[in-house]
Structure 1
Amino acid sequence: MLHSLTEFLTAALGNSPLEWLAVLTGFACVWLAARESLWNFPVAIFSCALYIVVYYRAQLYSDSLLQAMFIVLSLYGWYEWLYGGRSKTALVVSRTRGVEWVVCAAFVGAFTLGFGYYLQKHTDAALPHWDSFTTAGSLAAQYLLMRKRLENWWLWIVVDVIYVPILWYKQLYPTSALYALYLGLAVYGYLEWRKSMKSEVGAMKHA
């Protein structure tokens, strides 16, 4: 037991400084998003750039590609939060529309099967279909976050639950622990955004 604990601590503490920096900035960007702070976008861009390298080294190619996509989506989301509301005003929290759920579900299913098959047949990717599912789920959640849809936090909870064991399996212990913390942040973000949405609705009724 003591030997196993020693091996774990050695592996965790021995992980690259690059991963630790990615972990810290990753936590910061999700916390900022939960607080509806625009600063979540520049911090996310920096963190994602680091994770491109971290995931590629761990043979999680789909997740490495995901980080590059997140950088592009973060730039778009930054603009949307500033000017995506009515008459180019700041975006407010709202519910996900039915058509958005259908599109997200179709995308996640198609990407998981298609890209998972590609990774399985043409690369040495670890856990190709699980890797593809978390990638697709994260993209769907990020899209809803960009549009300030309240339910984006539901998708993040599902994705985080799956990421924790995958990253642990790949011995990315700090990042696995980060995703465990993300679960708590996702719940916190949902509660904060729901409160914000109710405040906006109340303000509109009294306007």
Structure 2
Amino acid sequence: MSGLEWLAAITSALGVWLTGRRTVWCWPVMLLASVLYGAVFAQDHLYADAALQAVFAALALYGLWCWLRGVEESGQVRIATTTAQTLLRDTGITAVAGLALGLALRAITDDPMPLSDAGLSAYSVLGQIWTAKRYRACWVLWIVVDVLYALLFVQRRLFVTAVLYAAFIGLAVQGWRQWRGVEAHTP
């Protein structure tokens, strides 16, 4: 790992930790992490991953905007509830988008696991959107995505990154617990 990659990983972990603490500062940190990882991936010629970081940077700005509208007097962000119908709709749309992207990657790239890469990328975007919308369910999605990413990185022999994603699993479990009992109905 390069110094830049270490900085990106630490910044990303800090952003996830701050998200669990329900502070709007998570979003500027996540924006910085996206920029740093974008540079890491661009240096390694991983252009699709670099482009995904641009999407994450835009979603960090969206998340900041959403969370600034939900700050309580305590300084923490109010958690929103959602319906099972919304969760099912969003996961279904994401499955279709991930499949379409995976088929495109299989047709035009030499990606050895295009459906896995595309599906995990699509659900990562959904995770960011749900986090921005302050849905507690985002943590369950992050746990699943991070477990699958960790397994993918082990299979690809990217052990340091696999360990980072294992740490993300722990942070997501912590976030789930910290957001328990603080959900409020959205207007």
Tell me whether the two structures share a fold, i.e. TM-score over 0.5.
Answer: yes
Q: Decide whether the 8 Å contact of 1:44 with 1:71 is kept in 2.
A: yes
Question: How many residue pairs get matched?
Answer: 182
Amino acid at match of 2:127: A
Deviates more, 1:99-108 or 1:152-161: 99-108
Output the CA distance in 2 between the equivalents of 1:71 and 1:115: 20
Matches within 5 A, 1:1-207: 15-56=1-42, 61-84=47-70, 92-197=78-183
Output the CA distance in 1 between the equivalents of 2:46 and 2:157: 12
Residue 171 of structure 1: CA displacement? Answer: 4.2
Amino acid at match of 2:7: L
Residue 166 of structure 1: CA displacement? Answer: 1.9
With the length of structure 1 as denominator, give the TM-score of the two structures: 0.78
Deviation digits for residues 42-79 of structure 1 (CA, Å, limit 9, x no counterpart) = 11011111222334566755443322111111101101
Could you list the runs of 5+ residues in structure 2 that have no partner in the other structure?
Answer: none
Amino acid at match of 1:137: Y
Amino acid at match of 1:187: V
Output the CA distance in 1 between the equivalents of 2:21 and 2:41: 27
Q: Give the direction of change, closer, same or farther, for the CA distance of 1:95–1:141 in structure 2 (3 Å limit).
A: same
Q: Give the direction of change, closer, same or farther, for the CA distance of 1:27–1:55 in structure 2 (3 Å limit).
A: same
Residue 34 of structure 1: CA displacement? Answer: 0.3
Deviates more, 1:40-49 or 1:60-69: 60-69
* Aligned residues with identical type, % of pairs: 35
* Structure whose alpha-carbon radius of gyration is higher: 1
Query: Aligned residue for 1:12?
Result: none
Output the CA distance in 2 between the equivalents of 1:142 and 1:191: 18
With the length of structure 2 as denominator, give the TM-score of the two structures: 0.86
Q: Decide whether the 8 Å contact of 1:20 with 1:174 is kept in 2.
A: no
Question: Residue 80 of structure 2: SS of its match in structure 1?
Answer: coil
Residue 186 of structure 1: CA displacement? Answer: 0.6
Q: Decide whether the 8 Å contact of 2:142 with 2:172 is kept in 1.
A: yes
Q: Decide whether the 8 Å contact of 2:15 with 2:27 is kept in 1.
A: yes
Output the CA distance in 2 between the equivalents of 1:38 and 1:71: 15
Output the CA distance in 1 between the equivalents of 2:47 and 2:95: 18
Amino acid at match of 2:8: A
Amino acid at match of 1:159: V
Residue 140 of structure 1: CA displacement? Answer: 1.1
Q: Give the direction of change, closer, same or farther, for the CA distance of 1:128–1:60 in structure 2 (3 Å limit).
A: farther
Q: Decide whether the 8 Å contact of 1:49 with 1:67 is kept in 2.
A: yes
Q: Decide whether the 8 Å contact of 2:150 with 2:165 is kept in 1.
A: yes
Could you list the runs of 5+ residues in structure 1 that have no partner in the other structure?
Answer: 1-14, 202-207
